[in-house]
Amino acid sequence: MLEHETIYILAIESSCDDTSAAVLMNDKVLSNVVATQAIHKEYGGVVPELASRAHQQNIVPVVDQAIAKANIDKKQLSAIAFTRGPGLMGSLLVGTSFAKSLSLGLQIPLIEVNHMKAHILAHFIDDDSMKPPKFPFLALTISGGHTQIVQVNGFFDMKIIGQTLDDAVGEAFDKSAKILGLPYPGGPLIDKYATTGNPHKFEFPIPKVKDLDFSFSGLKTSILYFIQKQTKINPDFIENNLEDICASIQYTIITILIKKLKKAVKLTGIKEIAIGGGVSANSGIRKALVDAQTKYGWKTYVPKFEYCTDNAAMIGIVGYYKYKNEVFAKQDVTAKARYLIS
């Protein structure tokens, strides 16, 4: 284990449609630059080929900005950490190739990072507004591509104990939003409209799924049928009820998540709960997690907003811990579109 050294990590994230670079000094974030790709809005979802091209355009300026904001010189960098997967192959390739070349150029180690692990370990970023959970804890990772409950025994000891059998929570949000005619990504918009809506106005079914697994495709279908039926009766149904529909959808999703967490706590006896991933930016979910402290006696951890959606700071914190443990990647490391947490 390397101690007593100031470690500077440059981290790169390019797994989906955000190009991000961050610089960390040990476990503190000096800069965290995110370029969100607006192009996908026109298509109602992420177009992989366009994402890859936009990463190619963004990566150099984003990395330059991250280094400039951190106010360090490239020569001070100890290592380069990058997202190896999971994600879109064309997107991952841009960050992976860039990180490999820069590590060769600067003659510093390369560190590969699992994106989903990074969403979990984002809690360990040293930030005044956050406290890290204690091992072992349960992590609910909710993003556009994943929904998992992970038992986290240590930095490098994680086990998936439940996951979605079909759509991810983020997809449930985004697809519901699409049905309502809202632009991509619809998750944050559902959140926004839900704040002034009545969550009990409309009822959607809670799926019955075994063990700690999830399913969201049935919810999407039931919302679709409901909206089709109602708009046949009243073409202005969505417009007249948008806030209440959004609040009811969000309430249903939160109910599904909390129900499974309660089951996971019962099965494992672990009451330390952390959330991560883009959907943990949702204000209703954040509130439900905070309320669970008094309601169920859990200790819950909600990351700072900017460390929820895709960002390179979370890749950097994993890079820091890997660096300390001298876990480096070789130059022949390749991107992995499917990359399980282990």
**Phi, psi (5° rounding) for residue 296?**
-120, 0
Answer whether 40's CB lies under 8 Å from 33's CB.
no
- Could you give the strand order of the β-sheet that contains 272-276, starting from the edge strand earlier in sequence? 157-163, 147-154, 137-142, 272-276, 299-301
Q: 211: alpha, beta or left, given left = phi > 0 and alpha = psi -120 to 50?
A: left
Q: Find which of Zn ion, ligand KG4, none residue 188 binds, CB within 5 to 8 Å per kind.
A: ligand KG4
Answer whether 155's CB lies under 8 Å from 138's CB.
no
Answer whether 305's CB lies under 8 Å from 191's CB.
no
Q: Find which of ligand KG4, Zn ion, none residue 170 binds, CB within 5 to 8 Å per kind.
A: ligand KG4
Cβ of residue 337: shortest distance to ligand KG4, in angstroms? 13
Residue-level length of the chain: 342
Answer whether 248's CB lies under 8 Å from 200's CB.
yes
Q: Is the peptide bond before 86 cis (omega within 30 degrees of 0)?
A: yes
Nearer to ligand KG4, 99 or 189 (CB): 189
Q: Find which of Zn ion, ligand KG4, none residue 309 binds, CB within 5 to 8 Å per kind.
A: ligand KG4
Cβ of residue 12: shortest distance to ligand KG4, in angstroms? 15
Q: How far apart are CA 264 and CA 122, in angstroms?
A: 21
Nearer to Zn ion, 67 or 253 (CB): 253
Q: Find which of Zn ion, ligand KG4, none residue 281 binds, CB within 5 to 8 Å per kind.
A: ligand KG4
Cβ of residue 160: shortest distance to ligand KG4, in angstroms? 16
Nearer to ligand KG4, 36 or 97 (CB): 36
Nearer to Zn ion, 191 or 310 (CB): 310
Provide the binding-site residues for Zn ion, judged by CB under 5 A: 143, 310
Provide the binding-site residues for ligand KG4, judged by CB under 6 A: 16, 143-145, 170, 173-174, 185, 187-188, 191, 277-279, 281-282, 309-310
By Cβ distance, which residue is nearest to ligand KG4? 278
Nearer to ligand KG4, 225 or 305 (CB): 305
